[in-house]
C-alpha cells in the first residue's frame, strides 16, 4: 500500500527530512531509485538526454559494483548520485548497526551526501545517526511505477496530477518499473516543460 502524495502527517512527524524543495521557484526534481541496471538505466539516461534534463539517481551499492560502466555513464552525463544502501535494506527490519554499516559500504562507491532509505522506511534512531553526515531525501510525489498492477496511463496521471513547485518526484530504474517509466517519463517531461517547469538536481 502506498500513497502518491506524501501525507502531511509524515512531514510533521519527520520535519528534519527533505520532502520537497522551495515552493517559490517553478522547478521540480526528478529522482530514480534502485539502479544502475542495464535493462532500464540506459533507457532513462537516453530519455533525459533527449530533453536536456538532469536528475538525481539513488543507487544501490551492489548494482554499482555489478555495473560500474553504467554508473560512470550517469556521472559522465552530469547526473547527481545518492546513496540507497548497499543491499537495498528495509530499515524497519534491520538492526541499526547493520543498517548504518550498509550505508557506509555504499558510500565508499557513491561519495555523496544524499541518502534515501529504500521503501522510504527507516527508524528514528537510524535517521538521527545518518543526519550527521547526510541530507535524507524523501519525496512528495511517488509515481507508482514499481506497481505492476498500475497502468502506464495511470502512472502518468499520478505524476502530472500531484506535481507542484519544488516537488521531488520518485521514479525507479528497476526491472518492474520498465513499462511505466518508459511510457510516463517522456510524456511527463514534455507536459512539465509545456507548463513552464525547470528541472533541478538535488
Of residues 20, 33, 34, 79, which has the active-site annotation?
33
Q: Which residues contact 28 (CB under 8 A, 6 or more apart)?
A: 163, 165, 166, 167, 168, 169, 192, 197, 198, 199, 200
Closest by CA to 61, choosing from 3, 103, 124, 113, is 103
Which one of 20, 145, 172, 173 is the catalytic residue?
Answer: 172
Contact, 202 vs 80, CB < 8 A? Answer: yes
145 tagged catalytic: no
CA distance 128 to 197: 34
Annotation marks residue 39 as catalytic: no
Report the candidate in 92, 179, 115, 89 with the shortest Cα–Cα distance to residue 143. 179
Catalytic residue list: 33, 172
Amino acid at each position: 500500500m502506498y500513497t502518491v502524495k506524501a501525507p502531511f502527517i509524515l512531514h510533521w512527524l519527520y520535519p528534519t527530512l527533505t520532502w520537497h524543495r522551495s515552493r517559490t521557484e517553478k522547478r521540480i526534481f526528478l529522482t530514480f531509485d534502485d539502479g544502475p541496471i542495464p535493462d532500464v538505466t540506459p533507457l532513462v539516461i537516453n530519455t533525459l538526454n533527449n530533453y536536456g534534463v538532469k536528475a538525481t539517481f539513488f543507487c544501490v551499492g551492489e548494482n554499482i559494483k555489478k555495473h560500474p560502466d553504467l554508473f560512470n555513464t550517469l556521472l559522465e552525463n552530469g547526473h547527481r548520485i545518492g546513496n540507497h544502501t548497499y543491499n537495498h535494506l528495509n530499515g524497519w527490519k534491520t538492526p541499526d548497526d547493520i543498517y548504518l554499516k550498509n550505508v557506509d559500504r555504499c558510500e565508499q562507491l557513491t561519495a555523496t551526501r544524499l541518502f534515501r532509505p529504500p521503501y522510504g522506511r527507516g527508524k528514528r534512531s537510524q535517521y538521527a545517526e545518518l543526519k550527521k553526515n547526510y541530507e535524507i531525501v524523501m519525496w512528495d510525489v511517488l509515481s507508482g511505477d514499481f506497481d505492476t498492477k498500475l497502468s502506464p496511463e495511470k502512472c502518468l496521471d499520478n505524476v502530472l496530477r500531484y506535481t507542484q513547485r519544488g516537488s521531488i518526484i520518485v521514479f525507479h530504474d528497476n526491472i518492474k518499473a520498465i513499462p511505466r517509466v518508459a511510457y510516463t517519463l517522456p510524456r511527463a517531461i514534455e507536459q512539465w516543460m509545456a507548463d513552464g517547469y525547470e528541472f533541478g538536481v538535488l
